[in-house]
Structure 1
Amino acid sequence: MLLLCVLIFCGFRFVMSEEKLISVDFEIFGNVQDRLCSGSQYTEDQGRALGLGGWVKNTRQGTVIGQIQGPAQQVNSMKLWLKNVGSPSSRIDRAVFSNERDISKLEVQGFSTRY
């Protein structure tokens, strides 16, 4: 306790725990592939705005799949966006999230669209 008080007094600040990083896969069902402007582009833009790593891809079945990685709070914000908002002309019927796991560092740098 004395050491902690001395360190605080000397102007040092220590964070006791690092931010937890997670990775999660997703698939979005509904009318989610915008024909005029790629619905995946909106997902990519949102992932970048939140500072996440990951990727997104339109499937032949009409769904959108991908993976998001980053701090748990931002990943959860992205999950809510995928489930409730999406691209302006999308109709989201269902969002499925799977393979959620803790990671020690980002495995995917940046956020991109895969073709």
Structure 2
Amino acid sequence: MAAAGKLYSVNFEVFGTVQGVFFRKYTRTKASELRLVGWCRNTSKGTVAGIAQGPKAKLDVLKDWLRYKGSPHSRITSAVFSNEREIETLEFVAFTVKH
């Protein structure tokens, strides 16, 4: 169990039907509701990738959302998480969509 106050960072990539279905917009909304920071963007291979940072418990909620829910019209086949690590300070001030 992570100690209170510790911050974590995780990279993610979501596969399936995740472009053209407002996936990035819904990801930004969900991350903002959880008070997480970071970014997401479409990739040239048809996935959505990004970084999220914040308390581990809230990152775990976002990870489940990215893995199983997504935007209303998305069809997620898998979500890959990498480079999960503890960080000293947040590297971003909000969760944004990169173009």
Query: What is the Cα-based RMSD across aligned positions, in Å?
Result: 1.1
- List gaps (5 residues or longer) in structure 2: none
**Aligned residue type for 1:20:** K
TM-score w.r.t. structure 2 length? 0.93
Greater RCO (CA < 8 Å, at least 6 residues apart): 2
Aligned to 1:66, the other structure's residue is in SS state: strand
TM-score w.r.t. structure 1 length? 0.81
- Alignment check: 8 A CA contact 1:54 1:110 kept: yes
Once the two structures are superposed, the pairs formed by residues 32-43 of structure 1 within 5 Å of their partners are: 32-35=18-21, 38-43=22-27
Moved over 2 A (4+): none
- Alignment check: 8 A CA contact 1:34 1:89 kept: no
Task: State which structure, 1 or 2, has the greater radius of gyration over its C-alpha atoms.
Answer: 1
| Deviation for aligned residue 1:18 | 4.1
Aligned to 1:45, the other structure's residue is in SS state: helix
State the alpha-carbon separation in 2 of the partners of residues 100 and 108 from structure 1. 16
Counting aligned pairs with the same residue, the percent is 46
Q: Which has the higher strand share?
A: 2
Once the two structures are superposed, the pairs formed by residues 1-115 of structure 1 within 5 Å of their partners are: 18-35=4-21, 38-115=22-99
